[in-house]
Amino acid sequence: MTSPRAPVRILVCVKQVIDPETPLSAFKVDPATKRVLAAPGVPPVVNGFDENAVEAALRLKDTVGAEVTVLSVGQGFIMDVMKKPLSMGADRLVLAQDPSFQDLDPFATAYILSLAVRKSGAFDLVLCGRQASDWDNAQVPLVLAELLGLPCVTVAQKLELAGKGLVVQRALPDGYEVVEAPLPALVSVSNELGEPRYPTLRGIMAAGKKTPVTWTAADLGVDLARLAPKLRVLDLFAPPREKQCEFVAGENEADAGRLLALKLREDKLI
């Protein structure tokens, strides 16, 4: 398949998040600031679904040719983390970084991203992850598409360029739907797309030599009044876990299986 506008210009929105695999015992909320605290010694990661989005972009780069720019909004970026998409094969990293870019809600994040997208020039496709594994909002892609006036398809498990547009398989609870949209468009990508590729040694070396472009709130012309969250966080707390597990053991594991069935019958569960 040849694209009418190869190389396709793709922007991938990527967020740095607290590692969602942090063991539960290390999960801490600071009640005063109402923030989740990163566990000591556990570095942040690129949001998992955003790696899927990078993978989707790189597959287009492999097949039809694409120029892939990674875009992130925040502060306190860890360069080793944020360079991972570059080492996977992305071409450019743009960090919208400012002390005011903290505790942003999805509307404010999407607003800043919309300014960064506009500033970065002409594009064909904006890719996002399905949701960020901190607040699990699944909201920024939709707000961003609205702000940019782009057609939007969420939860993609496959995307292809066809003619002047896109054909996207959108994952549904019981199957998928096929959605067509003209370019430019915004698509959020889900894990059903398949495993993101591992960075190669060559990729890591190349990424090491690249310097990210950084833009401040002033560079972007951000109206700081628009960053105020729309909802007030009254409370953030770890829910109590109250279950008491009854362990069933027997003479050996097979016996335990048998006794478990008897126990469930005794308690009228089967």
Partner 1 sequence: MTDMNAETVVLGDLADGRLSGATAELIALGRKLGGPVAVAFAGVGLESAASEALAAGADKAYLLNSPVLAELQTDALVAAFEQLCKHSSPAVVLVAKTPMGRDVGPRLATRLGVGLAQDCVDLRRDSSGTLIATRPVYGGNALAALAFSDARPSIVVVRGKVYPPLAPDPARKGEIVRFEPKLDPSAVKARTVQFVRREAAGVRLEDAAVVVSGGRGLGGPEPFGMLKELAGLLDGAVGASRAACDAGWIDHSYQVGLTGKTITPNVYITVGISGASQHMAGCSGAKNIVAINKDANANIFKEARYGVVGDWKKVLPSFIEAVRELVKS
Ligand X SMILES: Nc1ncnc2c1ncn2[C@@H]1O[C@H](COP(=O)(O)O)[C@@H](O)[C@H]1O
Ligand Y SMILES: Cc1cc2nc3c(=O)[nH]c(=O)nc-3n(C[C@H](O)[C@H](O)[C@H](O)COP(=O)(O)OP(=O)(O)OC[C@H]3O[C@@H](n4cnc5c(N)ncnc54)[C@H](O)[C@@H]3O)c2cc1C
Q: Which residues bind ligand Y (CB under 6 A)?
A: 20, 48, 133
| 112 secondary structure, DSSP code | H
Q: Are strands 185-189 and 125-129 parallel, antiparallel or unpaired?
A: parallel
Q: Which does 218 bind (CB under 5 to 8 A by kind): partner 1, ligand Y, ligand X, none?
A: none
CA distance 103 to 229: 8
Residues 225-264 that bind partner 1 (CB under 8 A): 230-239, 241, 243-249, 252-258, 260-264
Q: How far is the CB of 254 from ligand Y (least distance, A)?
A: 13
- Of the chain, the end-to-end C-alpha distance in Å amounts to 55
Site string for ligand X, 31-60 (x = CB under 6 A): ----------------x-xx--x-------
Among 182, 202, 208, 221, which residue interacts with partner 1 (rule: CB under 8 A)?
A: 182
Q: Which does 72 bind (CB under 5 to 8 A by kind): ligand X, ligand Y, partner 1, none?
A: ligand X
Q: How far is the CB of 130 from ligand Y (least distance, A)?
A: 8
Among 18, 93, 140, 181, which residue interacts with ligand X (rule: CB under 6 A)?
A: 140
The residues facing 30 across adjacent strands are 35
Provide the token pair at 72: 């992130």
Peptide bond into 44 cis (omega under 30): no
Confirm if 189 and 169 have CB atoms less than 8 A apart: no
Site string for partner 1, 16-45 (x = CB under 8 A): --x-xx--x--x-x------x---------
Provide the token pair at 258: 């048998």
Closest by alpha carbon to 20, among 243, 240, 191?
191
As to burial, measured by CB atoms within 10 angstroms (0-12 exposed, 13-18 middle, 19+ buried), residue 260 is middle
Q: Applying CB under 6 A, what is the total number of residues that bind ligand X?
A: 24
| 211 secondary structure, DSSP code | -
The residues facing 152 across adjacent strands are 186
Q: Which does 48 bind (CB under 5 to 8 A by kind): partner 1, ligand Y, ligand X, none?
A: ligand Y
Other CB atoms closer than 10 Å to residue 85's CB: what's the count? 30
Q: Applying CB under 8 A, what is the total number of residues that bind partner 1?
A: 83
Q: How far is the CB of 135 from ligand X (least distance, A)?
A: 6
Q: Which does 129 bind (CB under 5 to 8 A by kind): ligand Y, partner 1, ligand X, none?
A: ligand X
Residues that bind ligand X (CB under 6 A): 13-15, 47, 49-50, 53, 71-74, 106, 109, 113, 128-129, 131-132, 135, 137-141
